[in-house]
Amino acid sequence: MSGAGRIRVACLGAGYFAQFHYDSWARMAEVELVGSCDMDLVKAAATGLPAYDDLGQMLDEADPDVLDIILPPNAHAAAIEQAIAHGVKTIICQKPFCRALAEARHIAHRAESAGVTLIVHENFRFQPWYRAIKSALAAGAVGQFHQATFRFRPGDGQGPRAYLDRQPYFQKMPRFLVHETAVHWIDTFRYLFGDPVSVYADLRKLNPVIDGEDAGYILFEYANGARALFDGNRHLDHAADNLRRTMGEALIEGTDGALSLFGDGAVSVRAQGALEGQVILGPDEWSGFGGDCVHALQEHVVAGLNSGSALENTAPDYLNVLEIEEAVYASAKLGQKIDLRAK
Protein backbone atom coordinates (compact mmCIF):
# COMPACT_ATOMS: atom_id res chain seq x y z
CA MET A 1 0.00 0.00 0.00
CA SER A 2 2.95 2.37 0.58
CA GLY A 3 5.62 3.25 -1.91
CA ALA A 4 8.03 0.78 -0.32
CA GLY A 5 5.49 -2.01 -0.67
CA ARG A 6 4.96 -2.46 3.07
CA ILE A 7 1.79 -1.56 4.92
CA ARG A 8 2.44 1.26 7.38
CA VAL A 9 0.57 0.58 10.64
CA ALA A 10 0.17 2.98 13.55
CA CYS A 11 -1.45 1.93 16.83
CA LEU A 12 -3.64 3.98 19.15
CA GLY A 13 -3.52 2.58 22.67
CA ALA A 14 -0.81 0.89 24.72
CA GLY A 15 -2.78 -0.73 27.52
CA TYR A 16 -2.92 -4.35 28.64
CA PHE A 17 -4.44 -5.94 25.52
CA ALA A 18 -2.43 -3.81 23.08
CA GLN A 19 0.62 -6.00 23.66
CA PHE A 20 -0.93 -8.74 21.52
CA HIS A 21 -1.57 -6.32 18.65
CA TYR A 22 1.97 -4.92 18.65
CA ASP A 23 3.52 -8.38 18.85
CA SER A 24 1.43 -9.58 15.90
CA TRP A 25 2.22 -6.63 13.63
CA ALA A 26 5.93 -6.98 14.45
CA ARG A 27 5.91 -10.57 13.17
CA MET A 28 4.67 -9.62 9.69
CA ALA A 29 7.24 -8.95 6.98
CA GLU A 30 4.59 -7.05 4.99
CA VAL A 31 4.04 -4.54 7.81
CA GLU A 32 6.04 -1.56 9.06
CA LEU A 33 5.03 -0.27 12.50
CA VAL A 34 5.37 3.51 12.39
CA GLY A 35 3.98 4.81 15.67
CA SER A 36 2.32 4.25 19.04
CA CYS A 37 -0.03 6.75 20.68
CA ASP A 38 -1.35 6.71 24.23
CA MET A 39 -2.40 9.33 26.78
CA ASP A 40 0.43 7.89 28.88
CA LEU A 41 3.51 8.72 26.80
CA VAL A 42 5.64 6.37 28.89
CA LYS A 43 3.46 3.42 27.83
CA ALA A 44 3.63 4.47 24.18
CA ALA A 45 7.43 4.80 24.38
CA ALA A 46 7.71 1.35 25.99
CA THR A 47 6.63 -0.18 22.67
CA GLY A 48 9.95 0.92 21.16
CA LEU A 49 8.14 2.82 18.40
CA PRO A 50 7.97 6.57 17.75
CA ALA A 51 5.78 7.62 20.68
CA TYR A 52 2.96 10.14 20.76
CA ASP A 53 0.32 11.32 23.20
CA ASP A 54 -1.64 13.16 20.50
CA LEU A 55 -3.41 11.20 17.75
CA GLY A 56 -3.44 14.07 15.27
CA GLN A 57 0.31 14.53 15.56
CA MET A 58 0.92 10.81 15.03
CA LEU A 59 -1.31 10.71 11.96
CA ASP A 60 0.44 13.77 10.50
CA GLU A 61 3.99 12.59 11.16
CA ALA A 62 3.69 8.80 10.79
CA ASP A 63 1.31 8.90 7.79
CA PRO A 64 -0.03 5.35 8.32
CA ASP A 65 -1.90 3.25 5.78
CA VAL A 66 -3.69 1.53 8.68
CA LEU A 67 -4.69 2.82 12.11
CA ASP A 68 -5.22 0.12 14.73
CA ILE A 69 -7.43 1.45 17.55
CA ILE A 70 -6.89 -0.47 20.80
CA LEU A 71 -8.99 1.59 23.21
CA PRO A 72 -12.13 1.16 25.35
CA PRO A 73 -15.50 1.81 23.62
CA ASN A 74 -15.97 5.38 24.86
CA ALA A 75 -13.00 6.53 22.75
CA HIS A 76 -13.77 4.70 19.50
CA ALA A 77 -16.03 7.16 17.69
CA ALA A 78 -13.83 10.23 18.18
CA ALA A 79 -10.69 8.37 17.13
CA ILE A 80 -12.34 6.99 13.99
CA GLU A 81 -13.69 10.43 13.06
CA GLN A 82 -10.22 11.94 13.48
CA ALA A 83 -8.59 9.21 11.39
CA ILE A 84 -11.17 9.67 8.62
CA ALA A 85 -10.50 13.43 8.64
CA HIS A 86 -6.76 12.75 8.28
CA GLY A 87 -7.33 10.55 5.23
CA VAL A 88 -6.55 7.13 6.74
CA LYS A 89 -8.20 4.60 4.42
CA THR A 90 -8.10 1.47 6.60
CA ILE A 91 -9.04 1.47 10.27
CA ILE A 92 -9.19 -1.49 12.65
CA CYS A 93 -11.11 -0.93 15.89
CA GLN A 94 -11.22 -3.13 18.96
CA LYS A 95 -14.50 -4.39 20.35
CA PRO A 96 -16.87 -3.66 22.02
CA PHE A 97 -17.41 -1.45 18.97
CA CYS A 98 -18.43 2.05 20.15
CA ARG A 99 -20.64 2.73 23.16
CA ALA A 100 -24.01 1.80 21.68
CA LEU A 101 -25.69 0.65 18.49
CA ALA A 102 -26.72 4.14 17.36
CA GLU A 103 -23.14 5.42 17.63
CA ALA A 104 -21.80 2.35 15.82
CA ARG A 105 -24.28 2.83 12.99
CA HIS A 106 -23.27 6.48 12.64
CA ILE A 107 -19.55 5.68 12.56
CA ALA A 108 -19.99 2.78 10.12
CA HIS A 109 -21.94 5.11 7.81
CA ARG A 110 -19.30 7.84 8.13
CA ALA A 111 -16.53 5.43 7.19
CA GLU A 112 -18.46 3.96 4.28
CA SER A 113 -19.32 7.44 2.93
CA ALA A 114 -15.65 8.42 3.11
CA GLY A 115 -14.49 5.30 1.27
CA VAL A 116 -12.77 4.00 4.41
CA THR A 117 -12.52 0.29 5.20
CA LEU A 118 -13.46 -0.07 8.88
CA ILE A 119 -12.88 -3.47 10.46
CA VAL A 120 -13.90 -4.53 13.97
CA HIS A 121 -11.13 -6.45 15.76
CA GLU A 122 -13.48 -9.29 16.70
CA ASN A 123 -10.85 -12.01 16.98
CA PHE A 124 -12.54 -14.96 18.73
CA ARG A 125 -13.87 -16.40 15.47
CA PHE A 126 -10.19 -16.60 14.40
CA GLN A 127 -9.24 -18.87 17.30
CA PRO A 128 -7.95 -22.16 15.83
CA TRP A 129 -10.54 -24.32 17.60
CA TYR A 130 -13.44 -22.39 16.04
CA ARG A 131 -11.84 -22.63 12.61
CA ALA A 132 -11.54 -26.40 13.16
CA ILE A 133 -15.16 -26.65 14.35
CA LYS A 134 -16.37 -24.67 11.33
CA SER A 135 -14.53 -27.03 8.97
CA ALA A 136 -15.89 -30.08 10.79
CA LEU A 137 -19.47 -28.81 10.61
CA ALA A 138 -19.07 -28.06 6.90
CA ALA A 139 -17.81 -31.61 6.38
CA GLY A 140 -20.91 -33.04 8.08
CA ALA A 141 -19.12 -34.29 11.19
CA VAL A 142 -22.24 -34.08 13.38
CA GLY A 143 -24.87 -34.57 10.69
CA GLN A 144 -27.84 -32.23 11.06
CA PHE A 145 -26.96 -29.63 13.69
CA HIS A 146 -29.43 -29.57 16.58
CA GLN A 147 -27.90 -27.63 19.45
CA ALA A 148 -24.77 -26.10 20.96
CA THR A 149 -23.70 -24.89 24.39
CA PHE A 150 -20.75 -22.74 25.36
CA ARG A 151 -20.03 -22.60 29.11
CA PHE A 152 -18.11 -19.36 29.75
CA ARG A 153 -16.06 -19.89 32.92
CA PRO A 154 -13.02 -17.54 33.20
CA GLY A 155 -12.99 -17.61 37.02
CA ASP A 156 -11.86 -13.99 37.32
CA GLY A 157 -14.92 -12.23 38.70
CA GLN A 158 -14.88 -12.82 42.47
CA GLY A 159 -14.10 -10.32 45.20
CA PRO A 160 -13.55 -6.57 45.48
CA ARG A 161 -10.40 -6.59 43.32
CA ALA A 162 -12.00 -8.34 40.34
CA TYR A 163 -10.45 -7.06 37.07
CA LEU A 164 -8.47 -4.26 38.76
CA ASP A 165 -5.05 -5.73 37.98
CA ARG A 166 -5.69 -6.20 34.25
CA GLN A 167 -8.62 -4.14 32.94
CA PRO A 168 -9.98 -2.00 35.80
CA TYR A 169 -12.56 -0.22 33.63
CA PHE A 170 -14.50 -3.51 33.62
CA GLN A 171 -15.83 -2.64 37.08
CA LYS A 172 -17.54 0.54 35.84
CA MET A 173 -19.14 -0.78 32.65
CA PRO A 174 -22.95 -0.56 33.04
CA ARG A 175 -23.27 -3.31 30.46
CA PHE A 176 -20.59 -5.89 31.14
CA LEU A 177 -21.02 -9.62 30.52
CA VAL A 178 -22.80 -9.23 27.19
CA HIS A 179 -21.37 -5.97 25.81
CA GLU A 180 -17.77 -6.73 26.77
CA THR A 181 -17.61 -10.51 26.61
CA ALA A 182 -20.59 -12.47 25.32
CA VAL A 183 -20.49 -10.34 22.18
CA HIS A 184 -17.55 -12.56 21.19
CA TRP A 185 -19.90 -15.54 21.09
CA ILE A 186 -22.70 -13.63 19.40
CA ASP A 187 -20.23 -13.17 16.56
CA THR A 188 -18.72 -16.66 16.81
CA PHE A 189 -22.15 -18.32 16.82
CA ARG A 190 -23.01 -16.28 13.68
CA TYR A 191 -19.77 -17.56 12.12
CA LEU A 192 -20.54 -21.17 13.02
CA PHE A 193 -24.32 -21.42 12.72
CA GLY A 194 -25.56 -18.37 10.81
CA ASP A 195 -27.81 -15.53 11.94
CA PRO A 196 -30.31 -16.31 14.71
CA VAL A 197 -34.02 -15.57 14.27
CA SER A 198 -34.70 -14.95 17.98
CA VAL A 199 -32.99 -14.55 21.35
CA TYR A 200 -34.01 -15.04 24.96
CA ALA A 201 -31.81 -13.83 27.82
CA ASP A 202 -31.75 -14.13 31.60
CA LEU A 203 -28.98 -11.91 33.03
CA ARG A 204 -27.90 -11.19 36.61
CA LYS A 205 -25.20 -9.48 38.70
CA LEU A 206 -23.30 -11.54 41.29
CA ASN A 207 -20.41 -9.29 42.32
CA PRO A 208 -21.69 -6.13 44.05
CA VAL A 209 -18.51 -4.13 43.32
CA ILE A 210 -19.14 -4.02 39.56
CA ASP A 211 -21.79 -1.95 37.80
CA GLY A 212 -22.92 -4.41 35.12
CA GLU A 213 -24.15 -7.97 34.82
CA ASP A 214 -21.60 -10.78 35.21
CA ALA A 215 -23.64 -13.96 34.73
CA GLY A 216 -26.54 -15.21 32.68
CA TYR A 217 -27.97 -17.33 29.90
CA ILE A 218 -28.56 -16.35 26.27
CA LEU A 219 -30.54 -18.73 24.07
CA PHE A 220 -30.31 -18.29 20.28
CA GLU A 221 -32.89 -19.81 17.91
CA TYR A 222 -32.12 -20.49 14.22
CA ALA A 223 -34.39 -20.74 11.20
CA ASN A 224 -33.96 -24.53 11.01
CA GLY A 225 -35.12 -24.92 14.62
CA ALA A 226 -31.63 -25.44 16.09
CA ARG A 227 -30.63 -23.74 19.34
CA ALA A 228 -27.36 -22.42 20.77
CA LEU A 229 -26.88 -21.50 24.44
CA PHE A 230 -24.31 -19.12 25.89
CA ASP A 231 -24.07 -20.02 29.59
CA GLY A 232 -21.87 -17.39 31.23
CA ASN A 233 -20.60 -16.97 34.76
CA ARG A 234 -17.43 -14.94 35.40
CA HIS A 235 -17.16 -16.27 39.00
CA LEU A 236 -16.73 -19.94 38.05
CA ASP A 237 -13.84 -21.67 36.31
CA HIS A 238 -13.25 -24.71 34.12
CA ALA A 239 -10.52 -27.34 33.77
CA ALA A 240 -7.61 -25.49 32.14
CA ASP A 241 -4.04 -24.53 32.93
CA ASN A 242 -4.81 -21.14 31.33
CA LEU A 243 -8.35 -19.96 31.99
CA ARG A 244 -8.04 -17.25 29.32
CA ARG A 245 -7.19 -19.67 26.49
CA THR A 246 -10.71 -20.77 25.55
CA MET A 247 -12.46 -19.17 28.58
CA GLY A 248 -14.70 -22.20 28.79
CA GLU A 249 -15.91 -25.38 27.12
CA ALA A 250 -18.32 -26.13 24.29
CA LEU A 251 -20.49 -29.01 23.08
CA ILE A 252 -22.00 -28.96 19.58
CA GLU A 253 -24.46 -31.77 18.83
CA GLY A 254 -26.19 -33.16 15.78
CA THR A 255 -27.88 -36.26 14.45
CA ASP A 256 -24.61 -38.05 13.67
CA GLY A 257 -22.45 -37.05 16.62
CA ALA A 258 -20.99 -34.27 18.73
CA LEU A 259 -18.02 -31.91 18.73
CA SER A 260 -16.39 -31.02 22.05
CA LEU A 261 -14.09 -28.06 22.82
CA PHE A 262 -11.94 -28.43 25.92
CA GLY A 263 -10.13 -25.87 28.06
CA ASP A 264 -6.76 -26.76 26.54
CA GLY A 265 -8.01 -25.82 23.07
CA ALA A 266 -8.38 -29.39 21.84
CA VAL A 267 -11.40 -30.37 19.74
CA SER A 268 -12.77 -33.89 19.43
CA VAL A 269 -15.62 -35.46 17.49
CA ARG A 270 -17.62 -38.41 18.81
CA ALA A 271 -19.83 -40.33 16.42
CA GLN A 272 -23.42 -41.12 17.43
CA GLY A 273 -23.36 -44.32 19.48
CA ALA A 274 -19.60 -44.28 20.05
CA LEU A 275 -18.11 -44.31 23.54
CA GLU A 276 -15.04 -42.23 22.76
CA GLY A 277 -14.24 -39.28 20.54
CA GLN A 278 -11.48 -38.71 18.02
CA VAL A 279 -9.22 -35.67 18.40
CA ILE A 280 -9.35 -33.44 15.30
CA LEU A 281 -7.34 -30.57 16.82
CA GLY A 282 -4.73 -31.10 19.49
CA PRO A 283 -4.18 -28.99 22.61
CA ASP A 284 -3.12 -25.40 22.01
CA GLU A 285 0.56 -24.65 22.66
CA TRP A 286 0.50 -20.89 22.13
CA SER A 287 1.66 -19.13 25.29
CA GLY A 288 -0.12 -15.86 24.50
CA PHE A 289 -3.76 -14.98 24.13
CA GLY A 290 -6.48 -17.17 22.60
CA GLY A 291 -4.52 -19.45 20.30
CA ASP A 292 -2.81 -16.45 18.64
CA CYS A 293 -6.17 -15.26 17.31
CA VAL A 294 -5.07 -11.61 17.26
CA HIS A 295 -2.33 -12.54 14.80
CA ALA A 296 -4.72 -14.67 12.72
CA LEU A 297 -7.13 -11.75 12.39
CA GLN A 298 -4.39 -9.23 11.55
CA GLU A 299 -2.84 -11.60 9.00
CA HIS A 300 -6.31 -11.93 7.45
CA VAL A 301 -6.56 -8.14 7.16
CA VAL A 302 -3.10 -7.80 5.61
CA ALA A 303 -3.83 -10.59 3.12
CA GLY A 304 -7.11 -8.91 2.20
CA LEU A 305 -5.51 -5.51 1.73
CA ASN A 306 -2.78 -6.98 -0.47
CA SER A 307 -5.06 -9.19 -2.59
CA GLY A 308 -8.35 -7.32 -2.53
CA SER A 309 -10.13 -10.38 -1.11
CA ALA A 310 -13.18 -10.02 1.13
CA LEU A 311 -12.60 -9.15 4.77
CA GLU A 312 -14.46 -10.60 7.74
CA ASN A 313 -16.04 -8.34 10.38
CA THR A 314 -16.21 -5.11 8.44
CA ALA A 315 -18.23 -2.53 10.36
CA PRO A 316 -21.41 -2.74 8.21
CA ASP A 317 -21.61 -6.51 8.77
CA TYR A 318 -20.67 -6.21 12.44
CA LEU A 319 -23.70 -4.01 13.04
CA ASN A 320 -25.70 -7.27 12.93
CA VAL A 321 -23.79 -8.41 16.03
CA LEU A 322 -24.66 -5.20 17.87
CA GLU A 323 -28.32 -5.47 16.84
CA ILE A 324 -28.40 -8.96 18.37
CA GLU A 325 -26.71 -7.59 21.49
CA GLU A 326 -29.42 -4.94 21.86
CA ALA A 327 -32.06 -7.64 21.53
CA VAL A 328 -30.32 -9.64 24.27
CA TYR A 329 -30.56 -6.73 26.69
CA ALA A 330 -34.15 -6.04 25.67
CA SER A 331 -35.05 -9.68 26.29
CA ALA A 332 -33.47 -9.63 29.75
CA LYS A 333 -35.30 -6.43 30.62
CA LEU A 334 -38.70 -7.58 29.34
CA GLY A 335 -38.38 -11.21 30.35
CA GLN A 336 -39.45 -12.47 26.91
CA LYS A 337 -38.11 -13.85 23.68
CA ILE A 338 -37.22 -11.22 21.05
CA ASP A 339 -37.92 -11.99 17.39
CA LEU A 340 -34.98 -10.67 15.36
CA ARG A 341 -36.92 -10.88 12.10
CA ALA A 342 -39.28 -8.14 13.22
CA LYS A 343 -36.91 -5.21 12.84
Q: Are 163 and 257 in contact (CB under 8 A)?
A: no
Number of helices and strands (H, E) in the chain? 9, 15
Kind of pairing, strands 145-152 and 117-121?
Answer: unpaired
What is the per-residue pLDDT across 54-76, written as a single tens digit (0 to 9) for each?
999 999 999 999 999 999 889 99
Instruction: Spell out the residues 6+ positions from residue 80 whose beta carbon is closer than 8 angstroms to its own.
Output: 69, 91, 93, 107, 110, 111, 118
Concatenated DSSP letters of 224-284? TS-EEEEEEETT---S-SSTTSSSEEEEEEETTEEEEE-TTS-EEEEETT-SS-EEEEPPP
Would you tell me how many other CB atoms lie within 10 Å of the CB of residue 5? Answer: 9
This prediction has a pTM of 0.94
For residue 253, how many C-alpha atoms fall within 13 Å in the half-sphere facing its CB? 11
CA distance 288 to 328: 31
Instruction: Spell out the residues 6+ positions from residue 158 whose beta carbon is closer than 8 angstroms to its own.
Output: 207, 235
**Local confidence band at 343 (pLDDT 50, 70, 90 cut-offs):** low
Query: Could you tell me which of 341, 342, 338 has the C-alpha nearest to residue 199?
Result: 338
Mean pLDDT of 7-19: 96
What is the per-residue pLDDT across 197-220, written as a single tens digit (0 to 9) for each?
999 999 999 999 999 999 999 999
Q: Are 322 and 335 in contact (CB under 8 A)?
A: no
What is the per-residue pLDDT across 269-323, written as a single tens digit (0 to 9) for each?
999 999 999 999 999 999 889 999 999 999 999 999 999 999 999 999 999 999 9
